[in-house]
């Protein structure tokens, strides 16, 4: 039987693997249909001027973070970066929803079936996973420092 304590200790690993699956899937989807992704970013009133740059940076960053999440040594750093990236994605979606006349769809695969509001909820769940994992890893790191 899995205890609550064991589950709590495994949250950073579980969260990391969820982010790896999400980011590898999302990056692959963007890169496989790169031209469409770039066009959709260009249609965004917020990102029009930066569409070419963002179209490469986002999937590259998702893949790099996925790599770092695989290693316990870099996991805390990578989770902070994932938290930042997911927060930026969420803020972008909210800005598009409430302050843009045109709402482009730049998600690929299964995620494009979500409405924009469902996408915000999805992102907030991942933000919460990242926060819980960061708190757990920071708690472990602080307890190791106290032992020294």
Token pair, residue 53, equals 């740059």
Range of the domain at 31: 4-147
69: number of Cβ within 10 Å: 24
Answer for the pair 82, 62: CB distance below 8 angstroms, yes or no.
no
Question: In the chain, how many domains are there?
Answer: 1
Q: Is 24 left (phi over 0), alpha (psi -120 to 50) or beta?
A: alpha
| Among candidate residues 6, 28, 141, 9, the one with its CA nearest the CA of residue 80 | 141
50/53 Cα distance (integer angstroms):
5
> Could you read off the pLDDT of 69-82 as tens digits, one per residue?
999 999 999 999 99
State which residues of the chain have pLDDT below 50.
none
Predicted pLDDT at 145: 66
Predicted pLDDT at 35: 92
């Amino acid at each position: 039987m899995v205890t609550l304590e064991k589950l709590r200790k495994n949250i950073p690993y579980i969260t990391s693997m969820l982010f790896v699956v999400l980011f590898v899937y999302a990056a692959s989807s963007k890169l496989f249909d790169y031209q469409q992704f770039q066009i959709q970013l260009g249609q965004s009133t917020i990102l029009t001027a930066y569409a070419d740059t963002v179209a490469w940076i986002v999937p590259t960053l998702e893949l790099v973070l996925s790599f770092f999440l695989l290693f316990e040594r870099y996991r805390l750093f990578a989770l902070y970066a994932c938290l930042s990236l997911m927060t930026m994605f969420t803020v972008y979606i909210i800005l598009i929803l409430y302050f843009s006349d045109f709402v482009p769809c730049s998600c690929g695969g299964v995620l494009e079936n979500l409405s924009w509001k469902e996408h915000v909820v999805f992102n907030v769940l991942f933000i919460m996973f990242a926060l819980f994992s960061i708190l757990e890893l920071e708690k472990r790191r602080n307890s190791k420092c106290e032992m020294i």
